[in-house]
Amino acid sequence: MNSMDPTCSGETPVCQEGLRLASARPATLRPKRLMPVDQQRSLAGRYPLWVKGLSLLAFTWAFLGWLNETWFFQFNNSIWLNRYTEYVIILAFGIWRIVAEKNPYNRRRLIILVANVMVLWWLIPWLFPFIEPYMGYLGVLPAFPSLHTPGTLTFFLVLGAVFLFGRRVICGWNCPCVGIREVVGFPFRQADHVPRGRWAWRLRHLKWLWFALYLGAMWAMTRPANNITAGYLGFFGLMVALPYFFTMLLSPWIGNRGYCRYLCPYGATFGLLNKAGMFRIDYNADTCTQCGLCEKVCDMGIPVWKLGTAKGRIDTTECMGCGRCVTECPTQSLAFHDVRNLFFPTLRQDRVWLRRRADWNLPATRWRSAGFVLVLVMVLAGGWYYSGRIGSGAELINNLGTLCGLPILTW
Ligand code: SF4
Ligand code: SF4
Ligand code: SF4
């Protein structure tokens, strides 16, 4: 067992192998042996060709679902060839990933990610759709939850949550876009596929082009609806959707997170708040052995310890808070920092703390899990209630206003 690592007992071979790999060879060398598909962990493995083929097939199927619903209109089916196709795929591959994942913190994150996608992104819009309150002209009515649509209530709530807890509340735990990349794209996490190094890191600035387009969409929303604003919003939709699916198919060359790293305008928005808000990763230079493991497990290609050495912290717009680096650091030199540290200054969200929160043997973990399930059930029940009895976001907000004794709100 690694003597520096009190939490390593549950997966000692994994930790030791990680350390051995981290210290023994540069990230570009390929692991010699193929990884069995029931073993997935923070340090990416190399998987057989059939697994990669299956992943590409699933990505293609999701793309075809979108094409059919948007352009082809060939098959009228409620699940197998439309936007919900992607969520069926996430569920199937998600179960596989959860069972195979060896890092307990990431297993917990995947469970929450898949559950959120199932309830919030699939079941509610599919079975109990209702329009949420929004401002401005959107082109289409935003069915709850529309967290990527500027102007909706969910969008503003998410911005607030990102400011307090960092980009991980959405990019780590809740985004369907990352859901499919996490669970279907896992064979493309390996160093052969994920571009790293100085140029790959510099290319991250590409996303500001998409962010500029996003600002244009926000501007169009505030204008009166006309051919120009409708045309621009349609153009923006295509500029997001096409790269979104093409980057899935390009995963063998740009890694599973190519879209999040280089193109996502929403990730750029959340990233700005990541930097301006209360989230960061603290770095302790005194205990760091510069083993480099934190950089090798990061799918976003962030030079973690180099940034830590230079700045004493990792506070980039790119970090989506997956926690792989923190939960794998063998010397606990990394720790998340967010709004909780404001109220509990001695709290240290390091490897031990994060892994303990994922320990199912502890009653506190089971209570938190029960609370999470309860919240999802309540949201589902709320969706059923409002879609069946009230019907639209405007009515929802009016009813809430009446309930709280507030004047009726109009948008
Ligand atoms: S970067 Fe964009 S696509 Fe990736 S997880 Fe964040 S919001 Fe989703
Ligand atoms: S922060 Fe941890 S994982 Fe990263 S180089 Fe230092 S000891 Fe290794
Ligand atoms: S820096 Fe750490 S938490 Fe952030 S994306 Fe990379 S591995 Fe995940």
Longest dimension (CA), the chain: 67
- Tally of domains within the chain: 1
DSSP bridge pairs for 40: 101
What does the block give as tokens for 82? Answer: 């439309």
Is 169 touching ligand 1 by the criterion CB < 6 Å?
A: no
pLDDT of the residue at 410: 40
How many whole angstroms from 285 Cα to the centroid of ligand 2? 9
- pLDDT reported for residue 39: 86
Crossing angle (nearest 10°) for helices 227-249 and 176-183: 10
Q: Is the pLDDT of residue 405 over 70?
A: no
- Ligand 2: residues within 6 Å at CB? 288-294, 304-305, 329, 331, 333-334
Q: Left (φ > 0), alpha (ψ -120 to 50) or beta: where does 159 sit?
A: alpha
d(CA 46, CA 51): 10
CA 57 – ligand 2 centroid, Å? 36
pLDDT of residue 138: 77
The reported pLDDT for the residue numbered 152 is: 87
Average pLDDT over residues 23-50: 76
Residue 112: both structure tokens together? 């929450």
Domain limits for position 210: 36-275
CB atoms within 10 A of CB 33: 8
Please tell me the distance between residue 153's alpha carbon and the centre of ligand 2 in angstroms: 39
Confidence of residue 394 (pLDDT cuts 50, 70, 90): low
| Per-residue confidence (pLDDT) for residue 407, from 0 to 100 | 45
Q: What per-residue confidence (pLDDT) applies to 86?
A: 95
**Mean pLDDT of all residues in 356-366:** 95
The pLDDT tens digits for 276-300 are: 999 999 999 999 999 999 999 999 9
Atom of ligand 2 nearest to the CA of 328: 3
State yes or no: cis peptide before 145, omega within 30 of 0.
Answer: yes
- Residue 161, pLDDT > 90, answer yes
* Residue 107 forms part of a structural domain: yes
For residue 262, the Cα-to-chain-centroid distance in whole angstroms is 14
Atom of ligand 1 nearest to the CA of 320: 6
Q: What is the pLDDT of residue 398?
A: 58
Task: Tell me if 293 CB under 6 Å of ligand 1.
Answer: no
Residue 18: band (very low, low, confident or very high) from pLDDT cuts 50, 70, 90: very low
- Ligand 3 shell residues, CB under 6 Å: 297-298, 300, 302, 304, 314, 319-325
* Torsion angle of the four alpha carbons 261, 337, 198, 290, in this order, in degrees rounded to the nearest 10: -140
81 domain residue, yes or no: yes
Give Cβ neighbours of residue 380 (< 8 Å, ≥ 6 apart): 119, 123, 124, 128
Give kind and range of the element (H or E) at residue 269. Answer: helix 265-276
Residue with the two structure tokens 């919240």: 375
Q: Which residues, at least 6 apart from 169, have a Cβ–Cβ distance to it below 8 Å?
A: 158, 161, 162, 321
Residues 6+ apart with CB under 8 A from 31: 21, 45, 46, 190
Q: What share of the chain is helix, strand, coil (3-state, %, to 5)?
A: 60, 5, 35
State residue 409's pLDDT score: 43
Please name which of 177, 182, 141 lies closest in space to residue 55, comparing C-alpha atoms.
Answer: 182
The residue contributing the CA closest to ligand 2 atom 7 is 288
pLDDT in tens, 40-59: 989 888 999 999 999 999 99
- For 188-207, write each residue's pLDDT tens digit: 998 778 888 889 999 999 99
In a domain? residue 280: no
In a domain? residue 53: yes
**Which of 167, 170, 204 has the most ligand 1 atoms within 8 A of CB, as the residue to mutate?**
170
Residue 163 resides in a domain: yes
Q: How far is the CA of 183 from the centre of ligand 3 (A)?
A: 17
Residue 392 clears pLDDT 70, i.e. is over it: no
* 405 vs 86, more confident: 86
Q: What is the mean pLDDT of residues 303-316?
A: 95
First-residue to last-residue Cα distance in the chain: 61
Q: Distance between CA 315 and CA 53 in Å, rounded? A: 36
Q: Residue range 358-363: average pLDDT?
A: 94
Q: Output 38 or 288, whichever has higher pLDDT.
A: 288
Write down the mean pLDDT value for the chain: 87
111-154 pLDDT, tens digit per residue, is 999 999 999 999 999 999 888 888 888 777 888 888 888 888 89
Q: Which two tokens stand for residue 61?
A: 């199927």
Q: Which residue has the higher pLDDT, 36 or 110?
A: 110
Q: Tokens 């793309």 identify what position?
A: 63
Residue 259, ligand 1, Cβ within 6 A: yes
Is residue 370 assigned to a domain? no
* pLDDT over 90 (residue 4): no
- The DSSP string of 297-353 is T-TT---HHHHHHHHSEE--SS-----HHHHH-TT--EEEE-THHHH-TT--EEHHH
Q: Which ligand 3 atom lies nearest to the CA of residue 168?
A: 3
Least confident of 193-207, 234-248, 341-355: 193-207
The percent of residues above 70 in pLDDT, for the chain, comes to: 87
Specify the residue with its C-alpha closest to ligand 3, atom 7.
298
Element holding 67 (H helix, E strand): helix 49-67
Ligand 1 centre to CA of 107 (Å) is 19
Question: What does the pLDDT read at residue 395?
Answer: 61
Q: Is residue 364 part of a domain?
A: no
Give the C-alpha distances (Å, rounded to integers) separating 146 from 120, 202, 235, 325, 384: 10, 31, 19, 30, 17
Residue 226 identity: N
Apex 310 CA angle, 307 and 314, nearest 5: 35
Nearest Cα to 303, choosing from 289, 318, 288, 287? Answer: 318
Closest Cα to residue 193, out of 272, 258, 253, 132?
Answer: 253
pLDDT confidence of residue 362: 96
CB of residue 260 inside a 6 A radius of ligand 1: yes
As given in the structure block, the two tokens for residue 44 are 């990416």
138 in a structural domain: yes
